[in-house]
Each structure stands twice: as C-alpha cells, then as structure tokens.
Structure 1
C-alpha cells in the first residue's frame, strides 16, 4: 500500500475507494459445513482484465491502451487509482454491475488508516487509532515523553516481578504493532517490549507504557508521500552486535525509501548469533537486499523500470 500511495503521489493521481457489501454474513456457524465456491469466486478481478502482481497478491494491475489501472484489494475494501478518472468511473460501474458495491468516493479512510490529500502529496496517519489506544491504556491524564524508550533499553526475563495477568500487556503491545503501519519511530522500542510477550514482568510493562506516553504527545505524526520526488529506491541498514543480554543476538534495522517517501522499515532480532560486528552488518545487508529486490520487482509490475 505504501508503494502505491507513493506512486500515486509522484504521478499526482487521485485515489478512490469502494466497499463490497455483505462479504461476510452475520452470525456464528456452529455446524461443520463443506462448500463448493460458486463460479463467480473463481473469477476475481482478473475477469475485468486485471492480473495479480506476483510480488504483492493484494495488488491487481490492468494494462490498457490509455495506460495502467491499479486496484489494491483487502477482503472487501479496495483502492483504485490511475491518471484517467473517466476510466476509473467506468471500472466502478463494471464492478457495481457484478457485485453489490458501495462507492466511497475519494479515499479518506482505509483499514483504520487516514489518508489526507495535500497539495504536495498524501499523508497517511492513525490519529483516531492512536488516541483510542491512549484511552485504552488509561493514560489520558499522563504526561507525554519525548522518546519512545530510554537509551540503551534492555529487558531481561528475570528482571522485575512477573505480571499476575499478562493479557493486558499482550493486548496493548498487539495494538502498538498495528500502529507501526504509519509510525516507524516506535519500531525499535516495540521490538524490545515484544520479546517477552509470553512472560512479561513489571519492567516490561513500564517500558510499554513509555511508548504509549510518547504516542500521546505525537498523535498527529504519520507518513508523508511527496509529489516532489522521483521513483528511485534507496535503502539503509544497520545492526548492533550481541546486544541482547539473554542470548547475545544482534538486532537488524533497515529503512527503504521510494524517492523521498519512506515505504518500508524493519527492526528485528537476527536469528543466529554473530561472531563479529562485521558479520552482523552483513546479515543486515542481506535482509535489506532481499527486501530491495522484492520491491524492485514490484515496481516493474507497476511499470517503473
């Protein structure tokens, strides 16, 4: 989705949204039922001339004499974009003839993500989601903090008293994970507090609340996809060395830009211990290279060499 928004911003395309009604029926089915999908389900958007990108199965592409049409599909929600608005309207009508659709007009909200159209691009944010998370953590009256975690934060399994009920900690950390869709600034701190999900202790809980207090003071932060850019991939990676106190594994972090827009990032512990900082850096370089190749192939699908 980030790549598509960046391309739409660079090419100054409008984004449209549609919703398919009654994709799911209400009610719990307690019986075991075997079903054969109806014939229509055997023909997804490919029936309308679209082909699924082999590098992102949620992205469908239709090549016409006038250009390319892009359809990003998630269950029953879809984003449609291209340079020719008339072609988009024609596609909307075709979809509405086959399915019961709701035309939501210009894209504003998608899967809880707010998309704001600006003069210089698009802003992707989760203000409402972040605000609800602060309320869920009961931190509305707490002071905000300037950073998501303390410098050199390390959590050890035996450090602190174990939580009697870890479910609340697990729920809040899970909510923070979805917030990283637009907030790369909390990725590393969240990586730290996610390591002890099975048996968190009070120190973990305090560190997790620090992230939410940081979110409280930065509710309106998000990702900006700029029009003043060119579709050129740039990647940066880094790694520490054996900084995990429990198993001495290193942590990889990388950031991927398409032009001036950040489209992908990662902060995760490496799967094996490294014998040196150089080895840890090479592992991080391998991770970012793999992701870079995947995005390069996706851009080729979109029509960007």
Structure 2
C-alpha cells in the first residue's frame, strides 16, 4: 500500500490504519467502543425522532438470535404467517412443495379474476428464500 499523494513519510516507515479498508484480504478489525456508540446514538436522537429498542430480536421478518459464536437468522414466525394471509390454515401438509417434473405454461388453468393475493403470496415466498435457498426453484416456478 502506498500513502496518498502529498503525504511525506520517511522510507521504511509504515502507516497505521485506524479504519478497515474494504477489499483487502484481511481488513483490520475495528473494535466496538461503547462510548463511541453512545455518542452516535445521542447524535441520532438529536437529529431524528427515534427510540432505542435494545438488542435486535426481529427485523423485516427475520428473527435474530445471538450467541457467543455469532448470530442465528430464522424466519419461523414469517413462515407461519404466510398461510394465514391466504386463509390456507386448514389445508393438509405435503412433504415436497412441488410435484416432481411438473411443467406449467401460461395457457394452463383458468386465469384468476384478481391475482393480487397470489402476487402477495409469491412476494412473501421470494423474500423467504433469503434464508431458505432450498425453496428457490419452487418459488421461481410460481413466480
């Protein structure tokens, strides 16, 4: 790494990075400083109307569980809410979300009078593929 133009430095001396540089194979670690975090939160409170809700538990349909080894993301509550949106709570459960080797075309079946609910459900399923990659193919077929 070379210092920026205009910065004079003696040869053989290295620059100390105070922030992480993205794109490096091993960026430096930026330690979390609680006093700096509190200063930023205080500044945000002054500029915007907001409140501190504590540690992150649920955000945009994703449940976040923290542990000493990292974070666990889950969409269990989001998944349970999808059938109730379409009033499908009494339907039977199947092992696979789509029949094997199923082929669909635009001329199959009767078009829906109001496709709004179908589109909402497909949108929910597309968002579900954030954590459930195994559903990607089925959601692709439905969309």
TM-score range relative to shorter protein: 0.5 to 0.7
Given that 1:155 and 1:193 are in contact with CA atoms closer than 8 Å, whether structure 2 keeps it comes out as no
Structure 2 CA distance for aligned equivalents of residues 99 and 168 of structure 1: 36
TM-score normalised per structure 1: 0.35
Corresponding residue for 2:12?
A: none
Structure 1 CA distance for aligned equivalents of residues 80 and 31 of structure 2: 33
Structure 2 CA distance for aligned equivalents of residues 139 and 115 of structure 1: 27
TM-score normalised per structure 2: 0.67
Higher relative contact order (CA closer than 8 Å, sequence separation 6+): 1
Count of matched residue positions in the alignment of Structure 1 and Structure 2: 118
Task: Determine which structure has more spread, i.e. the larger CA radius of gyration.
Answer: 2
| Structure 1 residues not aligned, in runs of 5+ | 1-63, 69-80, 195-305
Residues 1:159 and 1:125: Cα distance change in structure 2 (over 3 Å): same
Given that 1:109 and 1:115 are in contact with CA atoms closer than 8 Å, whether structure 2 keeps it comes out as yes
1:135 aligns with 2:84: yes
Could you report, residue by residue, the CA deviation over 1:254-299 in whole angstroms, capped at 9, with x for unpaired residues?
xxxxxxxxxxxxxxxxxxxxxxxxxxxxxxxxxxxxxxxxxxxxxx
| Matched residue SS, 2:54 | strand
Structure 1 residue 193, shift from structure 2 partner: 1.0
Residues 1:92 and 1:157: Cα distance change in structure 2 (over 3 Å): same
Residues 1:97 and 1:152: Cα distance change in structure 2 (over 3 Å): same
2:132 aligned to 183, 193, 196, which one? 183
Structure 1 residue 94, shift from structure 2 partner: 2.3
Could you report, residue by residue, the CA deviation over 1:222-256 in whole angstroms, capped at 9, with x for unpaired residues?
xxxxxxxxxxxxxxxxxxxxxxxxxxxxxxxxxxx
* RMSD of aligned Cα (Å): 2.4
More strand by share: 1
| Matched residue SS, 1:106 | coil
Residues 1:84 and 1:154: Cα distance change in structure 2 (over 3 Å): farther
Structure 1 CA distance for aligned equivalents of residues 130 and 42 of structure 2: 31
1:173 aligned to 122, 125, 128, which one? 122
| Structure 2 residues not aligned, in runs of 5+ | 1-16, 21-29
Corresponding residue for 2:23?
A: none
Residues 1:106 and 1:143: Cα distance change in structure 2 (over 3 Å): same
Could you report, residue by residue, the CA deviation over 1:49-81 in whole angstroms, capped at 9, with x for unpaired residues?
xxxxxxxxxxxxxxx84x55xxxxxxxxxxxx9
Could you report, residue by residue, the CA deviation over 1:1-47 in whole angstroms, capped at 9, with x for unpaired residues?
xxxxxxxxxxxxxxxxxxxxxxxxxxxxxxxxxxxxxxxxxxxxxxx
Matches within 5 A, 1:104-115: 104-115=53-64
Corresponding residue for 2:96?
A: 147
